[in-house]
Amino acid sequence: MAVLFPPRDDPARLIVLDEQVLADLTYWIRTEPRTAMRIVQLIEHASRDPLQGIGKPEPLKHRGADYWSRRITQEHRLVYLVRSDRVVFIQARYHY
- What ranges do the domains of the chain cover? 3-7+15-91
19 is catalytic: no
Q: Which of 19, 32, 44, 58 is catalytic?
A: 58
Q: Write down the pLDDT at residue 1.
A: 57
Tens place of pLDDT per residue across the chain (96 aa): 566 666 666 666 789 999 999 999 999 999 999 999 999 999 999 998 999 999 999 999 888 889 999 999 999 999 999 998 999 999 999 986
CB 7 within 8 A of CB 48: yes
Nearest CA-CA partner of 46 in 75, 83, 93, 19: 83
- Options 3.30.70.2190, 3.40.50.300, 3.30.2310.20, 3.30.750.80; CATH for 3-7+15-91 is 3.30.2310.20
45 is catalytic: no
Q: Write down the pLDDT at residue 23.
A: 97
Q: Write down the pLDDT at residue 65.
A: 83
pTM: 0.88
SS3 15: strand
Q: Write down the pLDDT at residue 11.
A: 64
